[in-house]
Structure 1
């Protein structure tokens, strides 16, 4: 079966996340080069149809003028792409700061959401963006500080997210909170659900599911009390646990990343100790990507999902610059769409 939706997007941030000028880090890959690598992918005439985009240096100055943002939109369009979901620069060291911090830190977090909404409006008015969300997380990397007072810290994250969701609503946007074990208060499926339900604004704040990260939710890597599986699990045990998790989070899911995980927890640079993405055909991959995607994409149109995106954070540059990488990924995305699309 061949479907035309959801649209197939590639993420631009693998050219940035974990890259830099620090010791042992590889240099970032420019936006135009990432676009060219994406545009070159082709599987029996099917191409990537759009990109998802990180709103920070060196791809984007978050304080760029509207005219500068329009020029970026023109560049993206010239490669044959539209823009879908945007990643707000909510972290310390970017525009934002921790969502569970003091009032000044919270305001910086909210300012980052305002920046993302402004750029989204420019893209929307340009015509290059007609769907997608704005992605956020708690911007509190690691869970040690959160564990000092889980109840109060979760309440603070909820308060920040409520204010952020109102900003998004006022701008005609929706926020998607990324579920990943490295983000405090969002580091387990149960803690993530507590935040979403605590905010209680499903029309403005939902969940972004990433296959690689949510796999680690089942193992309770940073929250053993919420583990659904033990090492050595059987296939039947895995899918029973996976269904329990997806049934809880799917109603909130408004953005979806296709990815693979090899079961290890390691990143790069400042983005260390997080879920490890690996290549779509990695022999050590733990997931049947197509089957697992179906758990998240069930009834996807009713939740406003119009595209899916590949996420390959922290791939080495040599992998990112190999054409076979992108053709294999695109082929996997097509299989997901043909099995679960519309």
Structure 2
């Protein structure tokens, strides 16, 4: 907070999961959490630093079966670097011990078991004084092609699983945010995402997590051509057309949004691991990025009248699948932090 940057909210967080997502097993080695924390804490632009990190509850960063002693040590190491913890990601997918939200049997049981563990960790981190805000992020842990075999039936099954997950979260004093990414069945288009949230019908328990890179793909109808908003053949030469598309998108999903990722996207898709034809994160300064990050963040952070929603206390940068050499450069994190500061300058507030 300074004369040139008067806002101190929302708080600015870096995501830790780029150190593990897409790493290992034939790829580059994971970057350990201590290194990610050090890189985050070292970044500084105009005297401003990151306020915290968001975490993936997955080893080697944070084991979903972490003990209280493990979590206390985690809280201490984060606080020692002058950082807080915000939102955390529940590993609900089958390869990580979870199960498909479409599976009414063992899959649902395993899915809910991971939600229970994640919300317990989130609660304990609050109690340890390192997590003043944030939600628990999750998704349906199933693909669009499987969902499409019975859209109505599968949507109802996912909604029921999410309802039960919301009750678990509420018991821990937590909220869940469903990730808007086109690789998740029932969440792969903006219309199916809104439908799913309405079926759950408990916004105080289950809301939406918007990522600027992933939600851009909603406007292109990737994995759901019938729900495309941008015209077919749009060549990005007319920014007003993109703005209109984003207004349609955010009008539908903003009321549900309780967690937000600042990100860049070049309008291409890719597949990696269990991700099915999903959005590509770009570096903050990528010349091929299609988003004006500070301006387009405002479509999510302000309502249709231009008023700040203040729906969450922090925002997080998300950039996955970058080479380790890029992630180990201090300039990478300063560039990211500069974009985050620009978003807060344009759409933040002072407390």
Instruction: Establish whether residue 207 from structure 1 lines up as the match of residue 237 from structure 2.
Output: no
SS in 2 for 1:93: helix
1:151-230 matches, within 5 Å, as 151-229=152-230, 230=232
Distance 1:178 1:225 in 2: 21
SS in 2 for 1:273: strand
Match for residue 265 of structure 1 among 264, 269, 279: 269
Instruction: Establish whether residue 41 from structure 1 lines up as the match of residue 43 from structure 2.
Output: yes
Matched-pair contact (CA < 8 Å) for 1:266–1:276 = yes
Matched-pair contact (CA < 8 Å) for 1:17–1:271 = no
Superposition CA RMSD, Å: 1.3
Match for residue 88 of structure 1? 90
Instruction: Establish whether residue 311 from structure 1 lines up as the match of residue 318 from structure 2.
Output: yes
Match for residue 57 of structure 2? 55
Distance 1:269 1:37 in 2: 26
Distance 1:51 1:45 in 2: 18
Structure 1 portions without partners, runs of 5+? none
TM-score (norm 2): 0.94
TM-score (norm 1): 0.96
Report the alpha carbon displacement of residue 264 of structure 1 after superposing the two structures with TM.
1.2
Matched-pair contact (CA < 8 Å) for 1:253–1:303 = no
Report the alpha carbon displacement of residue 2 of structure 1 after superposing the two structures with TM.
2.5
Match for residue 130 of structure 1? 132
Report the alpha carbon displacement of residue 272 of structure 1 after superposing the two structures with TM.
5.7
Distance 2:16 2:86 in 1: 11
Distance 1:304 1:110 in 2: 26
Structure 1 stretches of at least 4 aligned residues deviating more than 6 Å after TM superposition? none
How many residue pairs get aligned? The number is 339
Distance 1:274 1:316 in 2: 18
SS in 2 for 1:274: strand
Report the alpha carbon displacement of residue 225 of structure 1 after superposing the two structures with TM.
0.3
Matched-pair contact (CA < 8 Å) for 2:257–2:311 = no
SS in 2 for 1:257: strand
Matched-pair contact (CA < 8 Å) for 2:51–2:84 = yes
Distance 1:15 1:45 in 2: 26
Matched-pair contact (CA < 8 Å) for 2:301–2:309 = no
Matched-pair contact (CA < 8 Å) for 1:18–1:271 = no
Matched-pair contact (CA < 8 Å) for 1:267–1:314 = no
Matched-pair contact (CA < 8 Å) for 1:19–1:269 = no
Report the alpha carbon displacement of residue 241 of structure 1 after superposing the two structures with TM.
1.1
SS in 1 for 2:209: strand
Distance 1:57 1:308 in 2: 24
